[in-house]
Amino acid sequence: MRQFDLIVIGSGSGLDVAVAAANSGLKVAIIEKEKMGGTCLNRGCIPSKMLIHSANVIDTVKTAGIFGVKARITGIDFSSIIKRATSLVDKESQGIESSYKMSDNPVLYKGEAKFIGFKTIKVNDEILKADKILIAAGSRPSIPNIEGLDKIDYLTSTDALRLKKQPRVMTILGGGYIAAELSYFYGTLGTKINLIQRSSWLLTKEDDEIAKKYTEIVKKKYNVFLDSEIVRIYKKNGKFFTVIKTRNKKKTIKSDNLLVVLGVVPNSDILNLEKTNVKTDEKGFVITNEYLETTTDGIFALGDIAGNFMFKHSANLEAEYAVNNIINSKNKKKVDYTAMPHAIFTNPEIAGVGHTEQSLKEKKIEYIVGKHRYIHTGMGMAIEDKDGFVKFLVDKKTRKILGCHIMGTDASTLIHEVLIAMKSGSGTVDDIIKTVHIHPALSEVVQRASVV
Residue type, 431: D
Nearest to 422 by CA among 359, 338, 310: 338
The question of whether 439 is a catalytic residue gets the answer: yes
Cα dist from 91 to 50, 86, 94, 161, 364, whole Å? 14, 8, 5, 16, 50
Nearest to 422 by CA among 360, 336, 359, 349: 336
Going by DSSP bridges, is the β-strand pair 126-135/2-9 parallel, antiparallel, or unpaired? parallel
CA–CA distance, 445 with 384 (Å, rounded to integer): 13
Nearest to 78 by CA among 165, 183, 204: 165
Confirm if 177 and 184 have CB atoms less than 8 A apart: no
Instruction: Write out the DSSP string of 37-53.
Output: THHHHHHSHHHHHHHHH
Q: In what order do the strands lie in the sheet with 228-236?
A: 228-236, 239-246, 249-255
From 53, 376, 416, 439, active-site residue:
439
List active site positions: 439
